[in-house]
Amino acid sequence: MVGLIDTDLAETIPAYQHGQIEFTARSYMMQHPSRYILLSFDVEEFDMPLEYGIPIDPATQMEMGKAGLDAILPVLNEEEITATLFTTANFAMHYPDAIRALAAKHEIASHSFYHSNFSNEHLLESKQQLEQISGQSVVGFRMPRMRAVDIEEVKKAG
């Protein structure tokens, strides 16, 4: 995640290893705690009702996800905040113009291909699709619902 730190700066900061997750900007931010925070949002199809057996059609899932994005963007813009936006490739394919606009100011990271189902192939497929749509390199990944993921599979996908 980039948060408020420029990606070029983040690459020059020593990495901090915590378990299986590497925070490249953590050491810098720990020295400047009042200046930086890491801020991320999930930009996805709204599928939570499905987990409770409540039907929700795909179009409504997309519309609700887009409504959430549209609600937070004015706040980020007004406060001049940059963030990492974890998005599914599925959502990005439905709203490519929105993702390209986000990529102009924010980091785009993968939230898998679909929010509801997952296979290891989705790691690379989502990365490639998001890079094609956003025009930027996608280096971040977060599983939907913060589920576990095989870190070796994530590394293989790049």
Q: How many other CB atoms are found less than 10 A from the CB of residue 12?
A: 10
Q: Can you give the CATH number for the domain in which 121 is found? A: 3.20.20.370
Count of structural domains, the chain? 1
Task: Express each pLDDT in 40-64 by its tens digit.
Answer: 889 999 988 988 999 999 999 999 9
Q: Answer whether residue 86 is part of any domain.
A: yes
Give the confidence band of 147 by pLDDT, cuts at 50, 70, 90.
confident
Instruction: Check residue 28 and give its pLDDT.
Output: 58
Pick from 108, 123, 132: which is nearest to 44 by CA?
Answer: 108
- Give CA–CA dist 22/154, Å, rounded: 13
The secondary element (H helix, E strand) that includes residue 31 is: helix 26-31
Q: Answer whether residue 51 is part of any domain.
A: yes
Give the confidence band of 12 by pLDDT, cuts at 50, 70, 90.
very low
- Give CA–CA dist 36/3, Å, rounded: 8
Q: Answer whether residue 65 is part of any domain.
A: yes
Instruction: Check residue 30 and give its pLDDT.
Output: 64
Contact 108, 137 (CB under 8 A): no
Contact 154, 123 (CB under 8 A): yes
Residues 40-52 as b or e (16 or more Cβ within 10 Å = b): bbbbbbbbeeeee
Share of the chain above pLDDT 70, in %: 77
Note down the domain range covering 62: 39-157
Q: Answer whether residue 52 is part of any domain.
A: yes
- Which range, 35-44, 89-98, 107-116, has the best average confidence (pLDDT)? 89-98
Burial class (CB in 10 A: 0-12, 13-18, 19+), 55: exposed
How would you classify the pairing of strands 84-87 and 21-23?
Answer: unpaired
Q: Answer whether residue 147 is part of any domain.
A: yes
Two tokens, residue 21: 């997750």
